[in-house]
Chain A
Amino acid sequence: MPQLDADRLQGTPGNPTLLYFLVIFLFCLFGLRLWYLQVYKGKYFDRKSRDNRIRRYSIYAPRGLLRDTHGKLLAENQPSYALSIVREDCPDIGGTLEQVARWTGIPQEQIRTEYERGKKRVRSFDNQILVPHITFEQVAVIESHAIEWPGLRILVRPKRHYAKGPLMTHVLGYVAQADEEELNGDPTLALGDNIGKLGLESVLENVLRGVKGRREAEVDASGRIMREKVVSPPTAGQDVGLSIDLGLQEVATRALAPQAGAVVVLDPDTGKVLALVSEPSYDNNPFVDGIGVEQWRALLGNTRHPLQNRSIQSTYPPGSVFKLVMAPCGLYNHAVTPEKTVYCPGSYRLGNRVFRCWKRRGHGRVDLQRALVESCDVYFYKLGEELGIGAISRFAKSCGFGRPTGIALPHEKSGLIPDSSWKWKRYGRPWQKGETLNVSIGQGSVLVTPLQVAVYISALVNGGRIIQPSLLKQNPVISNGFLPFGDKIRERILDAMVATVKDPHGTARRLRMEGCRIGGKTGTAQVVNLQEKYEKKETHEIPYRMRDHAWMVSFGMKGDKKYVVVAMVEHGGHGGSDAGPVVRAVYEYLFAGKDLCSTDA
């Protein structure tokens, strides 16, 4: 085959460098690229592939239940339906939102803004809640059109329900949708979650909430679920038993309503709160669904201030109730002896000012006990003048006034025990002696909360311990200190309180009940100082805002049962006649098992 062999001689076969170069080029190019994709950005792509196939769902943890001391349900969970959207499964988001607006009656713009606002918080392929609560009827309608609106899902979630509504609002508070700030602050919260906003729901949030579970589903490219597994089961929130006695709460509320005010019932030995009433109240259930703007405005604008928890957030002058602090203060500072008497002519003169006793005719000659029983103002004017504001203020503060009691509820007020340095700071003026006299009968700038008073009476009853009141059934007793004075003085004050109930002239004689030891003290706190023109008028003749606050503070013992009951009726008029019946109703329930209001209404 010579002709085949010939072309060997014809020039060069070619340039191999080009081919070698191309092989090296291929190796370097793809080697580098593989390194970049698989090693350098491997973690990133791994996450991407996981996001592709894993869809994560939350399993809602039921919130802990709240029960009263007898186990009656106060806050429970009911199934509720939420409408959510999965963006990636929804081909026409605009149209879908429009349809949701038509179904639910919520304005379209509102749904759209909610959607846009929440969008960034929701991962791809996750449910984004559009409407947190829809009715069963709406569920039926949406379900029947489900096929026409891909991407829409109906979620079943537990929803808080408060069985007793307004009755327990000021204690329980409520849960509502977590706002932007709360979502930012807590990564475990998802859009549309409810969290405690007020009251025990807020204070016990960490105990009640529980931990959401996680479910993962592996899907293929067309979204079919291949397998599902529960990654972590939900942990239910802990149930909490309260010290509140629902029956008592109900009785006290009905006895107080429709007047505005507060009732506090404590177990003096443990500090457990058996009833904590503030009237008027409001229903906390609408907050769970998201309260309407109109409804919220109405609550805010209500002149009777239903949002205010009067037992801890409102401060009032204590009026004659403060004499229960003044009397031991005098004995403790040796300014008086129990036997020392003072003549009450019906008024007391200091310089050129005249301070009146509530009884214009005067009480005549009174000793300490009589002064308390008949609530003689002149006796305490004199005592106050002798003690001076410094001693009074120090003593009252050491009795627990002027600072929060420490109850586990938000926004508790400290009240105010004035002294000369406070006056100087506040008004830039020196303290006047006349003001000391006003303070002596619980007027002037002295301010207390009903709960503070209840804690003080408890200390008188329980041997002098200032106890931190607690709303929980199981809670160690926490003592915040001791009364500065001894048992002898304490017993004397208690005896005077019992006499105030027993004595025919006693101001608290309304509380007299057979077979139990009840002691009390009334208080009538002037809202506006020296309103001469209203002084002689009957309560109903005076405009509501000008009427006095009525106090009745008390303790009651029967067998081994001990209670402290404090009632404060805002603008009620007179302590004995207006706050008295409320306290009496409570004792009738506690000692006689009688639901007074049902017959007395």
Chain B
Amino acid sequence: MILHVNWVFMGTTVVLLGLGVLNLYSASALRTEGGVLLDPYYQKQLMWGGAGGCAMLACMLFDYRHLKSLAWPMFVISMLLLLAVPVFGKTIYGARRWISLGLFNLQPSEIAKICVLVLGAKCLARIPEKLDWRVLIKVMFIGVLPAAFIVKQPDLGSGLTVVLLLGGMVLYKGVETKILKASLLLGPLLLPFGWFFLHDYQKQRILTFLNPGRDPLGAGYHIIQSQIAIGSGQFWGKGFLEGTQSQLSFLPEKHTDFAFAVFGEEWGFLGAMVLLVLFCVFLYQIVMTSQEAKDNFGSLLCAGVFFYFFLQILINMGMVLGLMPVVGIPLPFISYGGSASVVNFCLIGLVLNVSMRRYVFKK
């Protein structure tokens, strides 16, 4: 079984993690009158990477098909955690998203994502045909319920990710053509009503995205400075530790949401394209695994993981490159984040798990 481990996939992951740590080293640097100051973010990220590696191994050891029986209990636990957030939650930046566990802060929305993914795969795997109305609504319920709690926190980004994640899996599985047609028509019609459910700051972000110049020092600042950072990297980049936008603090959230901008500034078009290619190889490996999987559950599990990463990359890069409004979604491996790293590695472990067991039960 060890022989069947997807080494390319694992290698891509390690390279991405390495680039992320390297970039965080630079993103933590702060130029001052006295010289360069370093925040220890890269060390922490390395630590989290290690912890993630262990979690990944743990996720590879057992046969993934056991997850089917654990799917419902896991889902219920994650829902309970989400319900606990408003009561015991810790408030950071005006949003209550975390539960303090002493050593670290647990983000229940991250756990909810995995649980929705697993339960979704389990439910969809059992359905033989393309989905019809009744089944679709039942399945979507798995996603919409936790998403509603997450949006309430408020964390629109994660909430949307949960729904889109499940939606992606459903599309992968396939729905009846008439439903597809109907939603293509209805979606754009319903979208404007969503406006009324948004918080003021979320409306601001969308307005600012449409016209960053309306408030260059306020709401538009992130968008403008991020594009300046990326663009000023030009073809070859400014060089490692030479990014002025990041080191002189013009770039906000440089080690988390906008870490990719630091990368783009220092490594230029060349480096950014290498990173993009690495991400594509990474995603491609997941798709491959989903095709080679022995059963529908494994295949759908991989599809779920695919959408999990795809959505994060799309939303984060889109935001950093000024193609999307500012949404607080980190870029996998590149942005600093503890629980996110562990979750990422767990999911990679699952994919490797599916991949290495692809021949086990073949006749």
Residues of A near any B CB (own CB < 8 A):
1, 4-5, 7-8, 10-16, 18-20, 22-23, 26-27, 29-31, 33-35, 37-39, 41-46, 48-50, 52-53, 218-222, 224-227
B33 touches A224 (CB 8 A): yes
A49 touches B276 (CB 8 A): no
- CB of B79 within 8 Å of the partner chain: no
Measured CB to CB, the nearest residue on chain A to B221 is A221
A10 touches B33 (CB 8 A): no
- CB of B294 within 8 Å of the partner chain: yes
18 example contacts (A-B, Cβ-Cβ < 8 A) are as follows A11-B127, A13-B300, A15-B172, A19-B172, A19-B287, A30-B318, A31-B276, A34-B273, A37-B322, A41-B231, A43-B234, A48-B228, A52-B225, A219-B248, A220-B32, A220-B248, A221-B249, A226-B33
- CB of B171 within 8 Å of the partner chain: yes
Given contacts A7-B126, A46-B234, A49-B229, contact A222 B300 (CB under 8 A): no
A49 touches B232 (CB 8 A): yes
Complex alpha-carbon distance, A1 and B361, angstroms = 10
Measured CB to CB, the nearest residue on chain B to A23 is B283
A221 touches B174 (CB 8 A): no
Measured CB to CB, the nearest residue on chain B to A1 is B65
Which chain B residues (304-333) contact chain A, with CB distance < 8 Å?
306, 310, 313-314, 317-318, 321-323
Complex alpha-carbon distance, A372 and B170, angstroms = 122
Distance to closest chain A CB from B223 (angstroms): 12
Return the contact of B232 from the options A10, A14, A45, A227 (Cβ within 8 A): A45
Complex alpha-carbon distance, A335 and B212, angstroms = 92
B297 touches A7 (CB 8 A): yes
Q: Report chain A residues within 8 Å CB of B32.
A: 220, 226
A19 touches B296 (CB 8 A): no
Complex alpha-carbon distance, A43 and B233, angstroms = 9
A26 touches B287 (CB 8 A): no
Given contacts A19-B303, A49-B245, contact A13 B230 (CB under 8 A): no
Measured CB to CB, the nearest residue on chain A to B293 is A13
Given contacts A13-B296, A26-B314, A42-B232, contact A34 B248 (CB under 8 A): no
A38 touches B297 (CB 8 A): no
Known: A10-B125, A29-B323. 6 other contacts (CB 8 A): A34-B276, A39-B234, A41-B231, A48-B228, A49-B232, A52-B250
Residues of B near any A CB (own CB < 8 A):
31-33, 65, 68, 125-129, 171-174, 225, 227-235, 244-245, 248-250, 264, 268-269, 272-273, 276-277, 279-280, 283-284, 287, 290-291, 293-297, 299-300, 303, 306, 310, 313-314, 317-318, 321-323, 361
Complex alpha-carbon distance, A35 and B230, angstroms = 10
Q: Report chain B residues within 8 Å CB of A13.
A: 290-291, 293, 295-296, 299-300
Return the contact of A33 from the options B174, B280, B297, B323 (Cβ within 8 A): B323
Complex alpha-carbon distance, A227 and B36, angstroms = 13
Return the contact of B235 from the options A38, A224, A226 (Cβ within 8 A): A38
Complex alpha-carbon distance, A49 and B232, angstroms = 6
Distance to closest chain A CB from B123 (angstroms): 11
A4 touches B299 (CB 8 A): no
B295 touches A5 (CB 8 A): yes
Distance to closest chain A CB from B241 (angstroms): 15
Which label, helix, strand, loop or mixed, suits the secondary structure of the B interface? Answer: helix
Distance to closest chain B CB from A494 (angstroms): 78
Complex alpha-carbon distance, A32 and B322, angstroms = 13
A18 touches B323 (CB 8 A): no
Distance to closest chain B CB from A12 (angstroms): 7
Distance to closest chain B CB from A38 (angstroms): 4
Complex alpha-carbon distance, A52 and B299, angstroms = 49
Measured CB to CB, the nearest residue on chain A to B272 is A34
Measured CB to CB, the nearest residue on chain B to A11 is B128
A48 touches B232 (CB 8 A): yes
A37 touches B227 (CB 8 A): yes
B249 touches A11 (CB 8 A): no
Complex alpha-carbon distance, A33 and B360, angstroms = 43
Q: Report chain B residues within 8 Å CB of A44.
A: 231
Measured CB to CB, the nearest residue on chain A to B217 is A88
Q: Report chain B residues within 8 Å CB of A53.
A: 244, 248, 250
A11 touches B323 (CB 8 A): no
Distance to closest chain A CB from B287 (angstroms): 4
Complex alpha-carbon distance, A561 and B245, angstroms = 72
B244 touches A49 (CB 8 A): yes
Given contacts A53-B244, A226-B248, contact A38 B230 (CB under 8 A): yes
Distance to closest chain B CB from A223 (angstroms): 10
Distance to closest chain B CB from A388 (angstroms): 81
Complex alpha-carbon distance, A439 and B33, angstroms = 81
Complex alpha-carbon distance, A312 and B272, angstroms = 72
B295 touches A7 (CB 8 A): yes
Complex alpha-carbon distance, A4 and B264, angstroms = 46
Q: Report chain B residues within 8 Å CB of A14.
A: 172-174, 290, 296, 299-300, 303
Complex alpha-carbon distance, A459 and B279, angstroms = 91
Given contacts A12-B174, A14-B174, A218-B248, contact A19 B306 (CB under 8 A): yes
Return the contact of A34 from the options B33, B269, B280 (Cβ within 8 A): B269
Distance to closest chain A CB from B29 (angstroms): 12
Complex alpha-carbon distance, A551 and B273, angstroms = 88
Complex alpha-carbon distance, A39 and B268, angstroms = 9
B250 touches A221 (CB 8 A): yes
Distance to closest chain B CB from A377 (angstroms): 84
Distance to closest chain A CB from B99 (angstroms): 33
Distance to closest chain A CB from B96 (angstroms): 29
B310 touches A22 (CB 8 A): yes
Q: Report chain A residues within 8 Å CB of B33.
A: 224-227
A11 touches B129 (CB 8 A): yes
B65 touches A33 (CB 8 A): no
B300 touches A38 (CB 8 A): no
Q: Report chain A residues within 8 Å CB of B297.
A: 7
Complex alpha-carbon distance, A373 and B232, angstroms = 86
Complex alpha-carbon distance, A224 and B247, angstroms = 13
Q: Report chain A residues within 8 Å CB of B172.
A: 14-15, 18-19
Q: Report chain A residues within 8 Å CB of B173.
A: 14-15
Q: Report chain A residues within 8 Å CB of B235.
A: 38-39, 42
Return the contact of B313 from the options A26, A37, A52 (Cβ within 8 A): A26
Distance to closest chain B CB from A6 (angstroms): 9
Q: For A15, A20, A23, which residue has the most chain B Cβ atoms within 10 angstroms?
A: A23
Q: Report chain B residues within 8 Å CB of A16.
A: 287, 290-291
Q: Report chain B residues within 8 Å CB of A29.
A: 318, 323
Q: For B31, B172, B279, B291, which residue has the most chain A Cβ atoms within 10 angstroms?
A: B172
Return the contact of B264 from the options A20, A31, A34 (Cβ within 8 A): A34
Q: Report chain A residues within 8 Å CB of B317.
A: 30
Q: Report chain B residues within 8 Å CB of A38.
A: 230-231, 233-235, 264, 268-269, 272
